[in-house]
């Protein structure tokens, strides 16, 4: 099971920070050799501090049951806080696929709020289609835009909600490529930008001036046989400047990036031990 989970994480068969971390937890629990499982899972994806924080916690405390319970409670708190930001007749814009954002929108729908969602497709793997499909199945009105039509998707929006793969000590949010572009467009139109995420996406290594690695994936994902001399850039993620972020919605509250970082450091001393 361990090697299959590692392969599925690397190939994006398992995607989304929370899904990756939860799959890693299950694999670690079932593994006989915990140190080997830790090593293999830790190296499965470079830009995944949630995965690393979960594995570090398990190695230090060996209490997966407590972690499952915590995450279940935390998930509901994020959903509650996020759904509170959705009002009737809103247009909500989102980029890529975030399980946290989708759960928030589904909850807002359950609360009988009427709103529309604009989503961008998110090349090269089209994770935006996952978002659109799931929202459609929940009977939420959703329009899918190609990435280069993001201005059209955002110009009439009332709020932008995205997930996060990592958050650094200086308040930068690392999310799917295109996220800062979309946040910049949002700022130009006066659209507030909220990042919906678990606080364990924070990367404690960045406190000590280690740079969060931005994953580059195979050029073949973009163009399987490019002409000679054509270089391909395939960064999977990018940094979103904290000045573009209205607030981070997590289980510890809704906070500005700088306040979020300070609060995470207070509540998670074990990350720095």
Tell how many helices (H) and how many strands (E) occur in the chain.
Answer: 10, 10
Token pair, residue 200, equals 């364990």
Q: What angle do CA 195, 245, 241 make, to 5 degrees?
A: 110
Q: How far is Cα 102 from Cα 135, in angstroms, rounded to an integer?
A: 7
Structural domain boundaries, residue 144? 73-210+233-272
Mean pLDDT, range 247-270, rounded to an integer: 95
- Band of residue 81 on the pLDDT scale cut at 50, 70, 90: very high
Average pLDDT, the chain: 95
Kindly state whether residues 78 and 187 are assigned to the same domain: yes
CATH code where residue 181 lies: 3.40.50.10470
Kindly state whether residues 161 and 258 are assigned to the same domain: yes
Q: Does a structural domain hold residue 249?
A: yes
- Active-site positions read 165
Secondary structure (3-state) at 160? strand
Q: At what angle do helices 64-83 and 99-110 cross, to 10 degrees?
A: 60
Token pair, residue 262, equals 């300070």
Q: Does a structural domain hold residue 217?
A: no
Residues near 27 by beta carbon (within 8 Å), at least 6 away in sequence: 1, 2, 5, 6, 37, 41
Q: Identify which has the larger pLDDT, 237 or 207.
A: 237
- Band of residue 36 on the pLDDT scale cut at 50, 70, 90: very high
Q: What DSSP character marks residue 195?
A: E
Kindly state whether residues 77 and 104 are assigned to the same domain: yes
Kindly state whether residues 192 and 83 are assigned to the same domain: yes
CATH code where residue 10 lies: 1.20.120.420
Domain boundary among 70, 100, 118: 70
Token pair, residue 221, equals 């994902």
| Number of residues written out for the chain | 273
Kindly state whether residues 63 and 192 are assigned to the same domain: no
Q: Does a structural domain hold residue 93?
A: yes
Task: Check residue 165 and give its pLDDT.
Answer: 93
Residues near 172 by beta carbon (within 8 Å), at least 6 away in sequence: 239, 240, 241, 242, 257
Q: Does a structural domain hold residue 215?
A: no
Q: Does a structural domain hold residue 263?
A: yes
Task: Check residue 209 and give its pLDDT.
Answer: 67
* pLDDT tens by residue, 95-109: 999 999 999 999 999
Kindly state whether residues 81 and 47 are assigned to the same domain: no
Q: Does a structural domain hold residue 7?
A: yes
Domain boundary among 49, 70, 91: 70
Mean pLDDT, range 14-27, rounded to an integer: 89
* pLDDT tens by residue, 45-78: 888 999 999 999 999 999 999 999 999 999 999 9
Domain boundary among 70, 103, 127: 70
Q: How many structural domains are present in the chain?
A: 2
Q: What DSSP character marks residue 220?
A: G
Q: How far is Cα 48 from Cα 54, in angstroms, rounded to an integer?
A: 10
Task: Check residue 161 and give its pLDDT.
Answer: 98
Please say if the pLDDT value at position 15 is more than 90. no
Token pair, residue 185, equals 């467009």
* pLDDT tens by residue, 151-181: 999 999 999 999 999 999 999 999 999 999 9
Q: Does a structural domain hold residue 162?
A: yes
pTM above 0.75, yes or no: yes
Kindly state whether residues 138 and 149 are assigned to the same domain: yes
Q: Which of 16-25, 111-120, 153-162, 176-185 has the lowest mean pLDDT?
A: 16-25
* pLDDT tens by residue, 189-227: 999 999 999 999 999 989 876 778 899 999 999 999 999
Kindly state whether residues 117 and 163 are assigned to the same domain: yes
């Amino acid at each position: 099971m361990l090697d299959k989970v590692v392969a599925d994480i690397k190939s994006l068969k398992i995607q989304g920070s929370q899904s990756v971390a939860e799959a890693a937890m299950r694999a670690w629990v079932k593994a006989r050799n915990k140190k080997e499982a830790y090593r293999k899972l830790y190296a499965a994806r470079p830009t995944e501090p949630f995965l690393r924080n979960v594995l570090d916690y398990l190695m230090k405390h060996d209490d997966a049951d407590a972690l499952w319970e915590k995450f279940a409670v935390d998930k509901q708190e994020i959903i509650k806080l996020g759904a509170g930001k959705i009002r009737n007749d809103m247009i909500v814009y989102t980029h890529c696929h975030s399980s946290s954002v989708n759960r928030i929108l589904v909850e807002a729908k359950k609360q009988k709020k009427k709103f529309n969602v604009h989503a961008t497709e998110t090349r090269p793997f089209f994770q935006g289609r996952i978002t659109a499909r799931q929202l459609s199945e929940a009977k939420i009105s959703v329009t899918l835009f190609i990435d280069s039509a993001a201005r059209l998707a955002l110009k009439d929006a009332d709020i932008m909600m995205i997930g996060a793969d990592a958050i650094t000590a200086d308040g930068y949010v690392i999310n799917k490529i295109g996220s800062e572009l979309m946040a910049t467009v949002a700022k130009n139109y006066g659209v507030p930008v909220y990042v919906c995420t678990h606080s364990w996406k924070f990367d404690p290594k960045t406190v000590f001036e280690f740079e969060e690695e931005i994953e580059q994936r195979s050029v073949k994902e973009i163009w399987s046989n490019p002409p000679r001399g054509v270089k391909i850039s395939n960064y999977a993620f990018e940094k979103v400047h904290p000045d573009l972020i209205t607030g981070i919605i997590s289980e510890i509250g809704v906070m500005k990036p700088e306040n979020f970082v300070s609060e995470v450091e207070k509540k998670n001393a074990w990350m720095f031990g």
